[in-house]
């Protein structure tokens, strides 16, 4: 009895199951890659690590840009 209504139940939407992410992109034309990592990327990582609910932090320093991504639970 309950199987027929269950199988014929219309589904109108799919829930969004992706996690919340924040990406910080920085630009410094005058610094070498090591300096971008030391003076920009690493301090941003430290501040992002102190945010509540942060599960993972990924960083990609590529001259002259720095990219940090924080993933929340």
Compute the distance between CA of residue 20 and CA of residue 30 in angstroms, rounded to an integer.
32
Among residues 36, 34, 30, which one has the least CA distance to residue 65?
36
Of the chain, the percentage scoring pLDDT greater than 70 comes to: 79
Q: Report pLDDT for 64.
A: 65
Q: Which one has a higher pLDDT value, 69 or 64? A: 69
| Secondary-structure breakdown of the chain: helix, strand, coil percentages, each rounded to the nearest 5 | 30, 35, 35
Q: Which one has a higher pLDDT value, 1 or 49? A: 49
Q: Report pLDDT for 20.
A: 82
């Amino acid at each position: 009895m309950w199987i027929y209504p269950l199988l014929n139940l219309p589904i109108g939407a799919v829930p969004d199951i992706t996690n919340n992410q924040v990406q910080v992109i920085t630009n410094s034309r005058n610094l070498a890659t090591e300096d971008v990592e030391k003076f920009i990327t690493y301090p941003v990582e430290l501040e992002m690590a102190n945010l509540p609910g942060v599960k993972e932090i990924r960083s990609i320093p590529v001259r002259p840009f720095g990219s940090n991504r924080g993933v929340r639970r």
